[in-house]
Amino acid sequence: MLRIHPVVTKHNPDMLSKPNIEVNDVPSPYVFTVWKRSSMSFQGTDGFTVFDHHGKLVFRVDNYSRKNSSSTREGLILMDGPGNALLTLKPQVLSMKCQWNAYRGDGCRCSESGTKFDQVFTMRSGSTLFHGRKDEAEIFMGDHNVNKSPDFRIEGWFRRRNCKIRDGNGEVVADISRKRVNKKVMLADDVFNLVVQPCLETDLIMAFVIILDRICVKSFTPILCS
Protein backbone atom coordinates (compact mmCIF):
# COMPACT_ATOMS: atom_id res chain seq x y z
CA MET A 1 0.00 0.00 0.00
CA LEU A 2 1.37 3.43 -0.92
CA ARG A 3 2.01 5.95 1.83
CA ILE A 4 0.47 9.38 1.39
CA HIS A 5 2.98 11.05 3.69
CA PRO A 6 6.77 10.68 4.12
CA VAL A 7 8.12 7.76 6.13
CA VAL A 8 9.14 9.04 9.55
CA THR A 9 12.72 8.09 10.35
CA LYS A 10 14.36 8.29 13.78
CA HIS A 11 14.37 12.01 14.48
CA ASN A 12 14.77 13.88 17.70
CA PRO A 13 11.15 14.50 18.86
CA ASP A 14 11.88 18.22 19.25
CA MET A 15 12.67 18.46 15.54
CA LEU A 16 9.15 17.52 14.53
CA SER A 17 7.62 20.74 15.83
CA LYS A 18 10.15 23.02 14.16
CA PRO A 19 10.23 24.34 10.58
CA ASN A 20 12.68 22.86 8.12
CA ILE A 21 15.94 24.83 8.43
CA GLU A 22 18.67 24.77 5.82
CA VAL A 23 22.38 24.61 6.64
CA ASN A 24 22.81 28.37 6.29
CA ASP A 25 20.01 28.93 8.86
CA VAL A 26 17.69 30.41 6.25
CA PRO A 27 14.20 28.91 6.72
CA SER A 28 13.07 26.83 3.77
CA PRO A 29 9.42 26.57 2.70
CA TYR A 30 7.01 24.48 4.75
CA VAL A 31 6.02 21.35 2.82
CA PHE A 32 2.73 19.64 3.66
CA THR A 33 0.85 16.65 2.37
CA VAL A 34 -2.89 17.33 2.38
CA TRP A 35 -5.25 14.35 2.48
CA LYS A 36 -8.86 15.17 1.77
CA ARG A 37 -10.26 12.87 4.40
CA SER A 38 -11.12 13.27 8.09
CA SER A 39 -8.57 12.04 10.62
CA MET A 40 -10.54 8.85 11.40
CA SER A 41 -9.91 7.89 7.73
CA PHE A 42 -13.42 6.62 7.05
CA GLN A 43 -14.27 6.11 3.38
CA GLY A 44 -16.16 9.05 1.89
CA THR A 45 -15.49 11.51 4.71
CA ASP A 46 -15.15 15.17 3.79
CA GLY A 47 -12.61 16.64 6.17
CA PHE A 48 -8.86 17.17 5.91
CA THR A 49 -5.79 15.54 7.41
CA VAL A 50 -2.48 17.37 6.92
CA PHE A 51 1.05 16.06 7.53
CA ASP A 52 4.34 17.93 7.61
CA HIS A 53 7.50 16.74 5.81
CA HIS A 54 8.32 14.41 8.74
CA GLY A 55 4.93 12.69 8.54
CA LYS A 56 3.62 14.38 11.69
CA LEU A 57 -0.08 15.30 11.84
CA VAL A 58 -0.18 19.11 12.02
CA PHE A 59 -3.69 20.15 10.90
CA ARG A 60 -7.06 18.49 10.64
CA VAL A 61 -10.71 19.20 9.88
CA ASP A 62 -13.13 16.55 11.07
CA ASN A 63 -16.23 16.48 8.89
CA TYR A 64 -17.73 13.07 8.27
CA SER A 65 -20.39 13.79 5.67
CA ARG A 66 -20.86 16.42 2.99
CA LYS A 67 -24.53 15.39 2.85
CA ASN A 68 -25.11 17.09 6.21
CA SER A 69 -25.41 20.64 4.90
CA SER A 70 -26.33 22.01 8.33
CA SER A 71 -22.85 21.19 9.64
CA THR A 72 -21.32 23.36 6.92
CA ARG A 73 -23.65 26.26 7.71
CA GLU A 74 -22.54 26.09 11.33
CA GLY A 75 -18.92 26.25 10.23
CA LEU A 76 -15.85 24.11 9.75
CA ILE A 77 -13.16 24.14 12.43
CA LEU A 78 -9.49 23.99 11.50
CA MET A 79 -7.59 22.27 14.32
CA ASP A 80 -3.97 21.48 15.04
CA GLY A 81 -2.83 17.87 15.34
CA PRO A 82 -3.93 17.39 18.99
CA GLY A 83 -7.36 18.88 18.21
CA ASN A 84 -7.10 22.49 19.44
CA ALA A 85 -9.31 24.89 17.47
CA LEU A 86 -7.29 27.38 15.40
CA LEU A 87 -9.83 28.93 13.04
CA THR A 88 -13.56 28.64 12.43
CA LEU A 89 -14.69 28.99 8.81
CA LYS A 90 -18.29 29.99 8.11
CA PRO A 91 -20.14 30.57 4.83
CA GLN A 92 -21.85 33.93 4.41
CA VAL A 93 -25.63 33.49 4.29
CA LEU A 94 -27.22 34.51 0.96
CA SER A 95 -23.84 35.33 -0.56
CA MET A 96 -23.78 35.87 -4.33
CA LYS A 97 -20.05 35.09 -4.61
CA CYS A 98 -19.62 32.04 -2.34
CA GLN A 99 -18.26 34.19 0.46
CA TRP A 100 -16.78 32.71 3.65
CA ASN A 101 -15.58 34.36 6.86
CA ALA A 102 -12.86 33.12 9.22
CA TYR A 103 -12.67 33.65 12.99
CA ARG A 104 -10.01 32.79 15.56
CA GLY A 105 -10.58 29.74 17.74
CA ASP A 106 -13.87 27.89 18.02
CA GLY A 107 -16.23 30.51 16.61
CA CYS A 108 -19.15 28.09 16.75
CA ARG A 109 -18.99 27.89 20.54
CA CYS A 110 -18.45 31.62 20.86
CA SER A 111 -21.57 32.40 18.83
CA GLU A 112 -23.64 30.01 20.96
CA SER A 113 -22.50 31.67 24.20
CA GLY A 114 -22.91 35.19 22.83
CA THR A 115 -19.19 35.91 23.06
CA LYS A 116 -17.79 38.33 20.49
CA PHE A 117 -15.03 36.94 18.29
CA ASP A 118 -12.74 38.68 15.82
CA GLN A 119 -12.96 38.15 12.09
CA VAL A 120 -9.60 37.20 10.60
CA PHE A 121 -10.41 37.30 6.90
CA THR A 122 -13.11 37.07 4.26
CA MET A 123 -12.70 34.88 1.19
CA ARG A 124 -14.91 34.78 -1.88
CA SER A 125 -14.89 33.33 -5.37
CA GLY A 126 -12.84 35.38 -7.81
CA SER A 127 -14.10 38.16 -10.02
CA THR A 128 -14.92 37.16 -13.59
CA LEU A 129 -13.29 39.12 -16.39
CA PHE A 130 -14.91 39.25 -19.81
CA HIS A 131 -13.01 36.84 -22.11
CA GLY A 132 -10.17 36.82 -19.60
CA ARG A 133 -8.73 35.06 -16.58
CA LYS A 134 -10.72 34.43 -13.48
CA ASP A 135 -8.98 34.02 -10.16
CA GLU A 136 -10.24 31.07 -8.18
CA ALA A 137 -10.65 33.23 -5.07
CA GLU A 138 -9.92 36.59 -3.44
CA ILE A 139 -9.05 37.11 0.22
CA PHE A 140 -9.53 40.27 2.26
CA MET A 141 -7.87 40.37 5.68
CA GLY A 142 -9.67 41.61 8.78
CA ASP A 143 -13.18 43.05 8.65
CA HIS A 144 -12.97 43.42 4.90
CA ASN A 145 -13.83 46.28 2.61
CA VAL A 146 -14.90 44.84 -0.75
CA ASN A 147 -14.00 48.09 -2.47
CA LYS A 148 -10.29 47.64 -1.78
CA SER A 149 -7.90 45.33 -3.60
CA PRO A 150 -7.63 41.78 -2.25
CA ASP A 151 -4.80 41.04 0.17
CA PHE A 152 -4.37 37.62 -1.46
CA ARG A 153 -5.44 36.04 -4.75
CA ILE A 154 -5.58 32.38 -5.68
CA GLU A 155 -4.95 31.68 -9.34
CA GLY A 156 -4.98 28.46 -11.32
CA TRP A 157 -7.33 25.49 -11.26
CA PHE A 158 -7.98 23.96 -7.86
CA ARG A 159 -9.93 21.03 -9.29
CA ARG A 160 -6.71 19.95 -10.96
CA ARG A 161 -4.69 20.78 -7.85
CA ASN A 162 -2.70 23.39 -9.73
CA CYS A 163 -2.86 26.73 -7.92
CA LYS A 164 -0.69 29.57 -6.71
CA ILE A 165 -1.54 31.88 -3.83
CA ARG A 166 -0.22 35.41 -4.33
CA ASP A 167 -0.07 38.31 -1.91
CA GLY A 168 -1.15 41.85 -2.69
CA ASN A 169 2.19 42.54 -4.40
CA GLY A 170 1.83 39.55 -6.70
CA GLU A 171 4.48 37.47 -4.94
CA VAL A 172 3.81 33.72 -4.73
CA VAL A 173 3.45 32.74 -1.07
CA ALA A 174 2.10 29.20 -1.50
CA ASP A 175 1.67 26.49 -4.13
CA ILE A 176 -0.83 23.65 -4.50
CA SER A 177 0.15 20.74 -6.74
CA ARG A 178 -0.52 17.05 -7.39
CA LYS A 179 1.49 14.61 -5.31
CA ARG A 180 3.74 12.06 -6.98
CA VAL A 181 5.02 8.84 -5.45
CA ASN A 182 7.70 8.70 -8.16
CA LYS A 183 8.13 9.79 -11.78
CA LYS A 184 5.58 7.26 -13.02
CA VAL A 185 2.94 7.20 -10.29
CA MET A 186 0.77 10.15 -9.28
CA LEU A 187 -1.72 9.97 -6.43
CA ALA A 188 -5.38 10.83 -6.96
CA ASP A 189 -6.40 14.41 -6.35
CA ASP A 190 -7.66 13.71 -2.82
CA VAL A 191 -3.96 13.80 -1.85
CA PHE A 192 -1.90 16.83 -2.85
CA ASN A 193 1.08 18.98 -1.91
CA LEU A 194 0.92 22.36 -0.21
CA VAL A 195 4.13 24.40 -0.08
CA VAL A 196 4.06 27.57 2.04
CA GLN A 197 6.78 30.21 2.15
CA PRO A 198 8.20 30.79 5.67
CA CYS A 199 6.94 34.37 5.81
CA LEU A 200 3.31 33.21 6.10
CA GLU A 201 1.22 31.69 8.89
CA THR A 202 0.64 28.11 7.80
CA ASP A 203 -2.75 27.81 9.52
CA LEU A 204 -3.94 30.83 7.54
CA ILE A 205 -2.92 29.28 4.22
CA MET A 206 -4.50 25.96 5.18
CA ALA A 207 -7.74 27.80 5.92
CA PHE A 208 -7.61 29.26 2.39
CA VAL A 209 -7.31 25.73 1.00
CA ILE A 210 -10.29 24.45 3.00
CA ILE A 211 -12.56 27.25 1.81
CA LEU A 212 -11.26 26.90 -1.74
CA ASP A 213 -12.38 23.28 -1.63
CA ARG A 214 -15.90 24.46 -0.77
CA ILE A 215 -15.96 27.15 -3.45
CA CYS A 216 -14.68 24.74 -6.12
CA VAL A 217 -16.93 21.77 -5.37
CA LYS A 218 -15.71 18.49 -6.84
CA SER A 219 -16.85 14.94 -6.33
CA PHE A 220 -14.77 12.75 -4.00
CA THR A 221 -12.66 10.16 -5.87
CA PRO A 222 -10.28 8.27 -3.56
CA ILE A 223 -8.37 6.23 -6.15
CA LEU A 224 -4.81 5.95 -7.42
CA CYS A 225 -3.85 6.91 -10.94
CA SER A 226 -0.66 6.90 -12.91
Under 8 Å between Cβ of 60 and 39:
yes
Condensed to tens digits (0 to 9), the pLDDT of residues 90-142 reads 998 776 668 999 999 986 554 554 455 689 999 998 865 544 556 889 999 98
pLDDT score for 3: 55
Cβ-based neighbours of 5, under 8 Å, separated by 6 or more: 33, 35, 51, 55
More confident residue, 125 or 174: 174
Residue 210 CB neighbours (<10 A): 24
More confident residue, 109 or 13: 109
**What is the distance between the alpha carbons of residues 198 and 111, in angstroms, rounded to a whole number?**
33
Under 8 Å between Cβ of 173 and 197:
yes
What are the φ/ψ torsions at residue 131 (nearest 5 degrees)? 55, 25
More confident residue, 92 or 89: 89
Side-chain-side CA neighbours of 156 within 13 Å: the count stands at 18
With 70 as the cut, is the pLDDT of residue 21 above it?
no
Flag the least confident range among 7-16, 81-90, 145-154, 206-215: 7-16
pLDDT confidence band for 24 (50 / 70 / 90): low
Which CATH code fits 27-221? 2.40.160.200
pLDDT score for 224: 39
Flag the least confident range among 125-129, 140-144, 211-215, 219-223: 219-223
With 90 as the cut, is the pLDDT of residue 86 above it?
yes
pLDDT score for 15: 36
**What is the distance between the alpha carbons of residues 105 and 131, in angstroms, rounded to a whole number?**
41
Secondary structure (H, E, C), the chain: CCCCCCCCCCCCHHHHHCCCECCCCCECCEEEEEECCCCCCCCCCCCEEEECCCCCEEEEECCCCCCCHHHHHHCEEEEECCCCEEEEEEECCCCCCCCEEEEECCHHHHHHHCCCCCEEEEEEECCECCCCCECCEEEEECCCCCCCCCCEEEEEEHHHCEEEEEECCCCEEEEEEECECCCCCEECCCEEEEEECCCCCHHHHHHHHHHHHHHCCCCCCCCEEC
- When the pLDDT of each residue in the chain is averaged and rounded to a whole number, the result is 78
Domain residue spans of the chain: 27-221
- Burial letters for 77-107: b for 16+ Cβ neighbours within 10 Å, e otherwise? bbbebeeebbbbbbbeeeeeebbbbbbebbb
